[in-house]
Every structure is written in C-alpha cells, then in structure tokens.
Amino acid sequence: MSKAIVTLHEQEGIHPLIAKPSHRLWTVAALLCATVATGNPYVLAAAGGVLLLLLLWCGVSIRLIVGRMLLLLPFGAGAALFIPFHTEGTAVWTGLGFVATEEGALKAAVILLKLAVANLLLTYLLAVTPLFTLLRSLRSVGVPAVLLELILLMVRYFFLLKEEAASMLKAQRARGMSFRGWRWGPRTYKRFGELAGVLFLRAYERSKRIYIAMSARGGLEGEKTTNKVRSGKRTGGESGEMRIEERSRKEGERARAGERSGGENGEARTEERPREEGEKVRAAETGEAAVSGSRRDEGELAVEVRGVSFSYGKVKALGGVSFEIPVGSKVALMGPNGAGKSTLISLLNGLELSQAGEVRLFGETVKRDNGERLRRRVGVVYQDPDDQIFSSTVEEDIAFGPRNMGVSEEEAEERVETALASVGMDGMRKRSPFELSYGQKRRVAIAGVLAMKPDLIILDEPMSFLDPKGRDELQALLEKMVSAGMTVIVATHDVDFAAEWADRVLLLKDGRLLASGTVELLFDDGLIEQASLHLPRLARPFRLLDGATDAKPRTVKQAAQSIWKLIARSSSGGSGGGAVDLEDSVAKSRPGGG
C-alpha cells in the first residue's frame, strides 16, 4: 500500500469490500450520518474497533491508519481540554481554579469517538477508491457534472503545477540556492517570490494553451453535442463502426489500384513566380509516387491555402501564403521560430479564420458557420502533451473528443479501445495522466486525437524531448496513420526526420512561404540557408567528396548505397562497374533498410 493518503489508481493487494464506487460512497455517507446521530460511547467504540479490523482486512497499512488518526490531534485536543471544564455537572477534578465535570468528560469522549469513527470511514473510502473515481462518483449524490469537471481539472493541474514547482526548485538548488532553516535572508525571500511569480505566469500561459487544446477537440462548443450524447445520436464525421485497421486495408487496396508512377527520389521542379510586395516563391511540383496504403485519390486535395494573411494586432504572422496538400500526403511544415507555423496550424484547424485569402479543407472553405463541423475532420496534437491531457484518467481524456462529437457511449468506448491499441497503451486506460512518462503522455495525446477519427492530423514538434527509441516508435505510428488513410502534417525543426519521413515539404520564413514541394527542397543549399535550417546530416559528408556533391540520401541505406557506388567507381577507374553488386550486398546486409 502506498504511503499517500489518497490513491490515484487501483492498488494491488487492496480489497475494497464494496465493489462499486458509487455504492461505496453511499454506504460511507450513510454510516457518517449514523455516527453523527449516535451518542452512546460504547456503540461508537465498538464501531471504531470493527472499522479498524475491516481496514486491516482490506489491506490498508497500519502506518496509513495511524497517520490519518494523528490528524485528529488538533481537534481532539480542543475537545479533551476545553469541553470537560465548560460543562456543568458533577465535579470529578478540581485544580488551578478549574473544575472538570463528569458530564463534560463524557461529552468530550463522545466527540472524540465520533471523530475517530468518521476518520476511519474516510480512511477506508480514500484508501480503496482512486481519487478521480471518487470525484466522479459524487455525481450519484447529485453534485452537478459541470462542478465536478472543474474540480477534476483543477486537481489534474494542481499536480502538474506541483511538478513544475519541484523542477524549478531543483534547478535553483543546482545553482546554489537553499531554502533550509526557519530564518531566511532577504535574498532567499526575493528568490522565493520570483519562483512564485514565475509559477503563476506559467500557469496563466498554460491556461491559454489548454483553452486552445480543448477547443480543438470540441470541448467548448456548447451543450448541443452533449444532448446528442445522451440520446445516443451521432453528428457529422464518418461511421464509428470502422476501425483503423479496417480503414488501412480498404484504403490500401484503393491506393494500390490507383497508384501513380514515379520514384522515391523524383526530381522536384521549381519555378519562380511573382508574389505580393515583390517577393517570389518557389512552387515545386511533386514527382513522387503515391504513398502505399494511403487514401490519395487522383486530384483530391486535403488542404488548399490561397493567399492567406493573418495578423495579431500590428504584428503580421502570415502574409500571402498559398499551397496545396493532396489527400494521403506526409507533409513536413518547417521553418525557424516565429515563422508562422503555429498560426497556420490554427487556421487549418478552424480555431482562427484568415483575415485575407482562403483556406479550404477537403474542398470546403473554412468559415465561421462551418468551422466546428470541419474541425472534426482535423486533429491537432500540440507540442506539450500536458496542455492537451486535461481529464482525470487516460480513458476519460481519449473519450473527450468523441463525446463532444456526439457519438454514443458504446461507440466512444470502442474508439477509446481502438485508439489505445493503435498507440500501444492498452493497459494504461485507468491510469492518471500525471503518473505517465513524457513519452507516454505524448502517446495519450495522439490517441485522444485518433479517437476523433480525423481525415487530417497535424502534430506540432512531436519528436521534441523523446529518446531515440521513442522517436522510432512515433515515426512508425505516423506511418500507421498514413496507412490508415489520414493526411499527416508534422511541424518540425528536425531536417533529418523530415528528409526520411515526409513526401512533401512546406518551408516558412517570417510569415512567408519560401517553397512548397518534395523533400528535394531540403537538399537545396541556398534554400535551406534562407530558411535558417541545415542540410540533412546524411547529405553533409557527400558535399566534401568529389563526384558525390549531388547525392541526396534520405535514409542510412541510401547513404550506404551511395558510398558503395563511390568505392566501386574508384576501384574500376571511374567506369562505375560493379556498383550493382555492391548495392545488392548492402541490401542483403541490411534487410530492413535504413
């Protein structure tokens, strides 16, 4: 049993005695009322003894019970010290001008026993019932659902702020700060005040990001979808009967039937054309093959952006941006900080409306009156998963979006199960989000979006703060999304990831679109420098080798093949003979590719 006074999830070795949490809550409430109404000290003492034995039988540690009982000391001291001396009756002790009465001592004993019994009842309830389960079960006693959701959200982010405060304190201590002792100096008080102020500002900034994340999943769109949940009706979107695996199979057949020709490293053709304010943009035509298993119909576009501009007051975030994204594409949205990527994501998700130009999703212009409906087809995974996970348990958070869409509880449950399986988190559905690692939180955030079954999914810096294994797993998950028929856009600074994974690239700089086309753009030295990025690491060594400056390896396998070609060319006097055999040896030694 944990040392914590409250539990966050079901504990091993604990026997709750009453299985259903709501029944448990009602039973404890009834016993508390009976305890308050009982005035017989013998009955109360017997009840306390029985409860103590039951707690031990349930598996609650004696250490936890003692810790809870010690909380009575401040209240018990008041009852024991003052009530006997302020109650009229038969005197049993006199001293120092004070008189304690028998009736007062009996009254104090009854109060102490009531406090002890009530404490044991609450200890049982809190020890065998996870905190968030307990809060949700309060609905059965008539507590308004809106109030409970607010309480759950506050508790969720209390723990998050606690983690942030601990991290900040750790960083300050690492630089020589100390908060030990009772007497602090002026500098310590100043630093502590700065810590509290920064924590408040962080909470304020996070609240804005949480608001955006909740809006992106339909959490602030009124009561109409909630009413449809109760009636079991669905609104908009595709049927919940089809799982991701089924969609992957069916759409894969469609893609193979209509697969277009072209090589993986097809050349990107660029052309110059005038733009607003005299600027020019390179519009690159894709020459790549359709992604196997994707839902790329000939001529069908997932996104069309035409001359879009957006400003925050006098600060221009986007200016005259135009591009297209075919259905089923894997797109890397790239550019330095402040390039306008976050603003563009908000426009594509309908959270913001363009101030000039037009944004079209799947052939329909995004407007104020259809933004909510189109938003259901666009899922966004934000950079910090703690901004996006705001429910009390993993399954509650994943069901947040589907319930706001108005699906039935049965379908919402099915979507939760499918989404968790797709991200490899099947056994975590009852866990509290703040118990998870950063990588696990990232997976839950993705699952919450997948449960809405979007046609377009946008991920903001998904690779940040992940270890190499986590990056590989996430990249495999992105491939699975595309195979399931989704169009995927990843906003990233990681040129190496973009070169290996994407089939299209959008390069932004200072709110302007520098280029749009295939990943060939990432090997253009001048363009990459203009975008404040760098060449993919696999391509850099070839810039130093004679006869290999045009090499554009996207994967380790392609880089190895290029090296073997150079070796073969050198050994054969430049004729290039034997290169094919060497490539075959690379393929045999690395069957999985790069």
pLDDT in 10s for each residue of the chain, 594 residues: 444 555 655 666 788 888 888 888 889 999 999 999 998 999 999 999 999 999 999 888 888 888 888 888 777 777 777 888 888 888 888 877 788 888 888 888 888 899 999 999 999 988 888 877 777 788 777 778 777 777 777 776 777 777 777 777 776 666 666 767 667 777 777 777 877 887 777 777 777 777 777 677 765 554 444 444 334 343 334 433 333 444 444 444 444 444 433 333 333 333 333 333 333 344 433 333 333 333 445 568 999 999 999 998 888 899 999 999 999 999 999 998 889 998 999 899 888 888 999 999 998 999 888 877 888 889 899 888 887 777 778 888 888 888 878 888 889 899 999 999 888 888 888 887 777 888 888 889 899 999 988 999 999 988 887 788 888 888 888 998 898 889 999 999 889 999 999 999 999 999 999 999 999 999 888 898 888 888 888 888 887 776 677 778 888 888 888 888 878 777 775 444 444 444 444 444 444 444
The C-alpha angle 30, 32, 38, rounded to 5 degrees, equals 105
Domain assignment of residue 543, yes or no? yes
Domain assignment of residue 200, yes or no? yes
- d(Cα 42, Cα 260) in Å, to the nearest integer? 86
Tell whether 200 and 129 lie within a shared domain.
Answer: no
Tell whether 364 and 505 lie within a shared domain.
Answer: yes
What's residue 84's pLDDT? Answer: 82
- d(Cα 275, Cα 396) in Å, to the nearest integer? 47
Nearby residues of 487 by Cβ (< 8 Å), 6 or more positions away: 295, 302, 303, 325, 326, 327, 328, 329, 331, 455, 456, 457
Domain assignment of residue 353, yes or no? yes
Nearby residues of 514 by Cβ (< 8 Å), 6 or more positions away: 281, 282, 335, 507, 508, 527, 530, 531
Tell whether 507 and 542 lie within a shared domain.
Answer: no
Q: Of 483, 510, 532, which closes a domain?
A: 532
Q: Of 188, 216, 244, which closes a domain?
A: 216
Domain assignment of residue 13, yes or no? no
Tell whether 35 and 67 lie within a shared domain.
Answer: yes
Domain assignment of residue 457, yes or no? no
Question: DSSP assignment, residue 564?
Answer: H
Domain assignment of residue 370, yes or no? yes
Tell whether 198 and 331 lie within a shared domain.
Answer: no
- CA 120 to each of CA 34, 111, 129, 135: distance values in angstroms, whole numbers, following the listed order: 14, 14, 14, 19
At 466, list the tokens: 């992940």
Which residue segment(s) compose the domain that 119 sits in? Answer: 21-141
Residue bearing tokens 């810096």 = 461
Q: Structural domain tally of the chain? A: 4
Q: Of 96, 125, 141, which closes a domain?
A: 141
- d(Cα 356, Cα 343) in Å, to the nearest integer? 14
Residue 97 burial class via C-beta count within 10 angstroms: exposed 0-12, middle 13-18, buried 19 and up: exposed
- d(Cα 115, Cα 121) in Å, to the nearest integer? 10
Tell whether 38 and 84 lie within a shared domain.
Answer: yes
Tell whether 152 and 58 lie within a shared domain.
Answer: no
DSSP structure string for 377-396? TEEEE-S-HHHH--SSSHHH
Domain assignment of residue 2, yes or no? no
Q: What is the CATH number of the domain that holds 318?
A: 3.40.50.300
Tell whether 78 and 128 lie within a shared domain.
Answer: yes
Domain assignment of residue 508, yes or no? yes
Tell whether 577 and 515 lie within a shared domain.
Answer: no
Tell whether 205 and 64 lie within a shared domain.
Answer: no
Tell whether 130 and 200 lie within a shared domain.
Answer: no
Lateral strand order in the sheet of 280-283:
272-274, 280-283, 512-517, 504-509, 330-334, 487-491, 456-460, 378-381
Tell whether 54 and 105 lie within a shared domain.
Answer: yes
Instruction: Judge contact between 501 and 481, C-beta under 8 A.
Output: no
